[in-house]
Amino acid sequence: MTTFTETRPTTDTLTITEAIETRRSIRKYVQEPMNQDDLHEILRLASLAPSAWNAQTWRFAVVQSPEIKEQLKAAAYGQGQITSAPAVIVVYSDMEDTLNTVEETAHPGMGEEGRTGARKTFEGAFGAQDVAQRGQWGLSQANIAFGFLMLAARGKGYDTVPMLGFNPQAVKELLGLPEHVQFAGLLPIGKRAEEGFPHHRHSVERITKFY
């Protein structure tokens, strides 16, 4: 079992441009623990992501236990970045929790009227949909926070690799998550111990039409 000692918070802070330019998938990490203040701050920054009606459907499960990471790795077909990283952030959407607690996301400035209005809006939009269908909408919101999370991590000097290569059912069972949740992805996070690959992307011209 790997044992870790606590590290000091990072003093690194990159601009948004630097964070985007220097983010790349990293699959080998320095064997030191994730600073817990940095981890909390990265999660807080990600939670500032926007969402339709401010629904904030995203939820995070942070795995730092070496034993649980081993099991998570098995659920991810043995991908080694999971146990190499000091922490893995599991990002998922819980649309049912969102609907059950919709008053929490109505802005306080809108008062009681805002809270009852929010419930009406959500019931009108999603009441007739089945759990899987509205779960898909919830996931589209959680994906925004997933993107914010990667850049927040990089902005604080950390590296990550987004992952969808895992068995969702196995991860739900391992973490005790409800059946209806949908995954944005797993995000191993830590300090890079490899260079990774430079960006290889379409040009703006290839992917854009200007009108």
Write out the residues near ligand FMN by the rule CB under 6 A: 24-25, 27, 79, 161-165, 185, 196-197, 199
CB 150, min distance to ligand FMN, A: 8
Shortest distance in whole angstroms from residue 25 CB to ligand FMN: 3
C-alpha 7/C-alpha 2 separation (Å) is 15
- Minimum Å gap between C-beta 67 and ligand FMN is 21
- 171's tokens: 């991860």
- What six digits make up the tokens of 84? 């190499």
Which residues are paired to 182 by β-bridges?
Answer: 93
- The residue type found at 49 is A
What CA–CA distance (Å, rounded) separates 102 from 145?
18
Q: Which is nearer to ligand FMN, 56 or 79 (CB)?
A: 79
**Nearer to ligand FMN (CB atom), residue 155 or residue 185:** 185
Q: Where are the alpha helices (DSSP H) in 54-130?
A: 66-75, 81-84, 95-100, 111-126
Residue nearest to ligand FMN (CB): 165
Nearer to ligand FMN by Cβ, of 88 and 99: the residue is 88
Nearer to ligand FMN, 110 or 164 (CB): 164
Q: How far is the CB of 202 from ligand FMN (least distance, A)?
A: 12
Burial code (b: 16+ CB inside 10 Å, e: under 16) for 188-199 equals: bbbbbeeeeeee
Beta bridge partners of 88: 63, 188
Instruction: Single out the residue of 67, 51, 92 nearest to residue 183, CA to CA.
Output: 92
Output the smallest distance, CB 88 to ligand FMN, in A.
12
Nearer residue to ligand FMN within complex by CB, 122 or 155: 155
